[in-house]
Structure 1
Amino acid sequence: MTALTPLIGISDIEAAAGLIAGHVVRTPTVPSPGLSDLLGVPVTAKLELLQRTGSFKARGATAKLLSLSEAERAAGVAAVSGGNHGIALAVMAAALEVKATVVMPRTAPARSIRIAEAAGASVRLTETMGEAFALVERLRDEGLTLVHPFDDPLVVAGQGSVGLEFAADAGELTDVLVSIGGGGLIAGVAAALHALRPGVRIWGVETAGAQAMSQALTAGGPVGVELSSIVTTLSAPSVSRLTYDHVRALVTEVLVVPDREAVRGCLELAEHAKLWTEPAAGCLLPAARQVVRRVGDGARLGLVVCGGNATAADMGAWSDRFGLREDNSAGSGKSAGSASELE
């Protein structure tokens, strides 16, 4: 049996938060009357879509960049990304005058590719996410420093600053929902909340076809998965031992929702919370309904609204694909989406 990876501690997260202070935004933590009415229980949202580069990814990328030696800065950095991590690394590396190479699959949002290129990064495209991970490993072998999106304790500690702020700024919480791609965000948030809000349950959320963490939990460790979700920002080909061990130790359960419900969640967040999100955040709403059904009316939910890097064209295309433009149930309250669809 593989030994448990040492978990990130609150001192690691506090150190990372101090390192990145002044480079990233302390995003708002706000009660949401609209979402509270929609879900029937109090809801507080941590608005990471207002972070620099439009997602929480700026935190971990900045923590890693600020830790580099002069030799590592001179050689440059590389990252693999389905979109948001690539944007974050490109923009933050430019701000810190570090040369960056970003590897993305061709399925990555065109907007993400454009922003990374506009920031001055060298963007390399591959056919699949698996090929992207393989290419970035070769770049590391050539001397670039890998800024991994989730398999790096410093990156995870940087993402954990989200949980540090949430714990400090939120009122009473019983359950916090966090989206999962490779697991860096939930690992950091869970570590922070475990230390500062030990009674709070943490729930992970994936989309069907991007189930790297739930399949790892079933298998007893990280495994490669087939990717078919439209949610490229959650589509890691596997989680890491680091993130898996955090989720196994600190997370109540990982919930899986269909792509259609993740897109519906985006529409509901726009209508009821006035938030323009991407499906990686939209998936939280159908999962929140599951949590409320299980926990009951005493639930006090926290949602980490992880990012908002979707275009109007993206949202229109997804809405058409899933028939949501004509679906009057979107935004219709607690009844939106049957239990069978959401579970």
Structure 2
Amino acid sequence: MDLVSVEDVRGAAEDIAGVVLRTPLLRTSWDADLWLKPESLQPVGSFKLRGATHAVARLTAAERARGVVTHSSGNHGLALAYAARAADVPCRIVVPEGAPAAKVDRIRALGVEVVTVPPPRRVPEAERIVAETGAVLVPPFDDRRIIAGQGTIGLEIVEDLPDVDVVLVPVGGGGLSSGVATAVTALRPAATVIGVEPELAADTRDSLAARSVVVWGEDRTYRTTADGLRLPPSELTLAHLLARLDGIVTVSEEEIRAAMGRLVRDARLVVEPSAAVAVAARLFRRDELPAGRTVAVVTGGNVDPAVLASVLGR
């Protein structure tokens, strides 16, 4: 399989400049060898803006006129809506009935068309729109443009901390971890890239062990509060992870919540559960990780206020 290259990631960096925030590395007060990459500070509150912006930038003139479409009620839908508006490209977001009203309202506020369907109709409805209008489908992770865009995080990490030893990156569908591993392994071969996922959604761990996609199913993965990490990898992302990820660890729900609390109280970052797993690994699974200068990718801050309040004990 033809994998994304570091040259693809460099190209993505040029494409997203001016739309995506170049987030800083923040040194933590509680761990002298830990830095945070706070993607929660992006205009849409998550790293998803990188891949979405790159995908929109790579559209041809004809494709731009026909617009883009995706199926999402969360961070990817919000990111694509923002990227499309910034580029003046028509956009439709298919969302499932029952999606959080706050997220849907944020998507709609960006001026894009929101199509609401029963949950099982999300993908078929997006495919119908593509067939009828010629719109370009922009999937959340199973796409080379998305992987290259997310990889710009790894590019920035190595530029800002050239002697980084370990990069901890959350793993869901694998677009982020594929891109980050691509950039870091090319630019800093001595560094180790470790994926982190919830114990209750460890399908990537199992997929890496089996060397083929293992699907747990949402009836199992829904148990984790890290809702952004409930999907299995695709064939495309698994190929990247098999070639470039150095290992994977899992963390418990209690550890995720504790890491959220630490990030809010001591780093002053509002984070969602999925964004806290890398820090949870550093806090509680340190004996499973290499030593040295470590960067934890903090992926997003679009957390339900009730969830945040419960973590903070209020």
Would you call these one fold, judging by a TM-score over 0.5?
yes
In the alignment, the residues of structure 1 paired with residue 73 and residue 289 of structure 2 have an alpha-carbon distance, to the nearest angstrom, of 33
* Contact 2:255/2:284 (8 A) holds in 1: no
Instruction: Give the superposition deviation at 1:200.
Output: 1.0
Residues 138-149 of structure 1 mapped to structure 2, 5 A cutoff: 138-142=128-132, 143-149=134-140
What code does the residue aligned with 2:303 have? A
Question: Could you tell me the percent identity over the aligned residues?
Answer: 37
Aligned residue number for residue 62 of structure 2: 71
Task: Please state whether the residue corresponding to 1:54 is helix, strand or coil.
Answer: coil
What code does the residue aligned with 2:198 have? T
Could you list the per-position Cα deviations for residues 91-132 of structure 1 after superposition, in whole angstroms to 9, with x for gaps in the alignment?
12112111211123456443221111111222234554x653
Instruction: Give the superposition deviation at 1:74.
Output: 1.9
Could you list the per-position Cα deviations for residues 15-56 of structure 1 after superposition, in whole angstroms to 9, with x for gaps in the alignment?
11111111211111122223x1xxxx5101112111221111
In the alignment, the residues of structure 2 paired with residue 136 and residue 14 of structure 1 have an alpha-carbon distance, to the nearest angstrom, of 30
**Is residue 93 from structure 1 mapped to residue 88 from structure 2 by the alignment?**
no
* Contact 1:108/1:232 (8 A) holds in 2: no
In the alignment, the residues of structure 2 paired with residue 125 and residue 292 of structure 1 have an alpha-carbon distance, to the nearest angstrom, of 43
* Contact 2:211/2:242 (8 A) holds in 1: no
Aligned residue number for residue 23 of structure 2: 27
Where structure 1 has 5 or more consecutive residues not aligned to the other structure, the ranges are 327-343
* Coordinate RMSD, CA, aligned: 2.2
Aligned residue number for residue 8 of structure 1: 4
Structure 1 stretches of 4+ with a deviation exceeding 6 A read none
What code does the residue aligned with 1:325 have? G
Aligned residue number for residue 330 of structure 1: none
Task: Please state whether the residue corresponding to 1:26 is helix, strand or coil.
Answer: coil
* Contact 1:158/1:188 (8 A) holds in 2: yes
* Contact 2:34/2:294 (8 A) holds in 1: yes
Residues 152-301 of structure 1 mapped to structure 2, 5 A cutoff: 152-170=143-161, 172-227=163-218, 228=222, 229-236=224-231, 238-295=232-289, 298-301=291-294
Task: Please state whether the residue corresponding to 2:44 is helix, strand or coil.
Answer: helix
In the alignment, the residues of structure 2 paired with residue 170 and residue 291 of structure 1 have an alpha-carbon distance, to the nearest angstrom, of 23
- Quick one: which of 17, 38, 42 aligns to 1:51? 42
Aligned residue number for residue 132 of structure 1: 122
* Contact 1:82/1:234 (8 A) holds in 2: no
Alpha carbons of structure 1 residues 262 and 234: separation in structure 2 relative to 1, 3 Å: same
* Contact 1:82/1:235 (8 A) holds in 2: no
Where structure 2 has 5 or more consecutive residues not aligned to the other structure, the ranges are none
Alpha carbons of structure 1 residues 212 and 110: separation in structure 2 relative to 1, 3 Å: farther
In the alignment, the residues of structure 1 paired with residue 258 and residue 97 of structure 2 have an alpha-carbon distance, to the nearest angstrom, of 25
Could you list the per-position Cα deviations for residues 147-176 of structure 1 after superposition, in whole angstroms to 9, with x for gaps in the alignment?
111111111111111110110002532211
Task: Please state whether the residue corresponding to 2:197 is helix, strand or coil.
Answer: strand
TM-score (norm 1): 0.83
Task: Please state whether the residue corresponding to 1:224 is helix, strand or coil.
Answer: coil
**Is residue 315 from structure 1 mapped to residue 301 from structure 2 by the alignment?**
no
Instruction: Give the superposition deviation at 1:235.
Output: 2.4
How many residues get paired? 309
What code does the residue aligned with 1:135 have? E
Instruction: Give the superposition deviation at 1:211.
Output: 3.2
